[in-house]
Structure 1
Amino acid sequence: MHDSIVFALLLTGTFLAAGLVKGVTGMGLPTVAMGLLGVVMSPAAAAALLIIPSFVTNIWQLFSGPSLARLLRRFWPMMLCISVGTIAGAALLVAVDPLWSGFALGLALLVYAGYALVAPKLAVPIIAERWLSPLIGALTGIVTGATGVFVMPAVPYLGSLHMSREKLVQALGLSFTVSTLALAVGLFFNGAFQVSQAGVSTLAVVPALLGMWLGQRIRVRISAARFRQCFLVFLIVLGLELVCRPFI
Structure 2
Amino acid sequence: MTSSFALHASVVAATFLLAGFVKGVTGMGLPTVAMGVLGTLMLPAQAAAMLLLPSFVTNVWQLFAGPSVRELVKRLWPMMVGIVAGTLAAASFIAGGGGEWAVAGLGAALTLYAAAGLMAWRFSVPARHERWLSPAVGVVTGAITGGTGVFVVPAVPYLQGLTLKKEDLVQALGLSFTVSTIALAIGLTREHAFAVDDLGTSLGAVVPALLGMWIGQRVRGHISPATFRRWFFICLLGLGIQLLARAFV
Normalising by structure 2, report the TM-score.
Answer: 0.98
The equivalent of 1:142 in structure 2 is 143
CA RMSD for the aligned pairs?
Answer: 0.9
The equivalent of 2:4 in structure 1 is 3
CA drift at 1:96: 4.1
Give the secondary structure class of the aligned counterpart of 1:220. helix
Q: In structure 1, how many angstroms separate the alpha carbons of the residues matched to 2:247 and 2:81?
A: 34
The equivalent of 2:224 in structure 1 is 223
Q: In structure 1, how many angstroms separate the alpha carbons of the residues matched to 2:122 and 2:10?
A: 40
The equivalent of 2:35 in structure 1 is 34
Give the secondary structure class of the aligned counterpart of 1:20. helix
The equivalent of 1:170 in structure 2 is 171
1:38-57 alignment, distance < 5 Å? 38-57=39-58
CA drift at 1:247: 2.6
The equivalent of 2:93 in structure 1 is 92
Contact 2:79 2:135 in 1 (8 A): yes
Q: In structure 1, how many angstroms separate the alpha carbons of the residues matched to 2:95 and 2:162?
A: 34
Q: In structure 2, how many angstroms separate the alpha carbons of the residues matched to 1:221 and 1:35?
A: 26
Report the residue type matching 2:170 in the other structure.
V
Q: In structure 2, how many angstroms separate the alpha carbons of the residues matched to 1:108 and 1:29?
A: 15
Out of 151-160 and 91-100, give the one that drifted further: 91-100
Q: In structure 1, how many angstroms separate the alpha carbons of the residues matched to 2:160 and 2:133?
A: 14
Distance 1:226 1:95, change over 3 A: same
The equivalent of 1:18 in structure 2 is 19
CA drift at 1:203: 0.9
Q: In structure 1, how many angstroms separate the alpha carbons of the residues matched to 2:79 and 2:17?
A: 31
Task: Say whether 1:246 aligns with 2:247.
Answer: yes
Q: In structure 1, how many angstroms separate the alpha carbons of the residues matched to 2:121 and 2:90?
A: 28
CA drift at 1:246: 2.4
CA drift at 1:3: 2.0
Give the secondary structure class of the aligned counterpart of 1:211. helix
Q: In structure 2, how many angstroms separate the alpha carbons of the residues matched to 1:132 and 1:96?
A: 32
CA drift at 1:121: 2.6
Give the secondary structure class of the aligned counterpart of 2:222. coil
Give the secondary structure class of the aligned counterpart of 2:51. helix
1:64-213 alignment, distance < 5 Å? 64-213=65-214
CA drift at 1:120: 2.4
Report the residue type matching 2:71 in the other structure.
R
Unaligned runs of 5+ in 2: none
CA drift at 1:134: 0.4
Report the residue type matching 1:210 in the other structure.
L
Q: In structure 2, how many angstroms separate the alpha carbons of the residues matched to 1:79 and 1:247?
A: 34
Kindly provide the CA deviation profile for residues 50-109 of structure 1, in whole angstroms up to 9, marking residues without a partner as x. Answer: 000000000001101111111111111110110011111110101243222111000000
Out of 126-135 and 194-203, give the one that drifted further: 194-203
Give percent identity, aligned residues only: 56
Report the residue type matching 2:204 in the other structure.
L
CA drift at 1:171: 0.6
Out of 62-71 and 174-183, give the one that drifted further: 62-71
Kindly provide the CA deviation profile for residues 197-219 of structure 1, in whole angstroms up to 9, marking residues without a partner as x. Answer: 11110110000011011111221
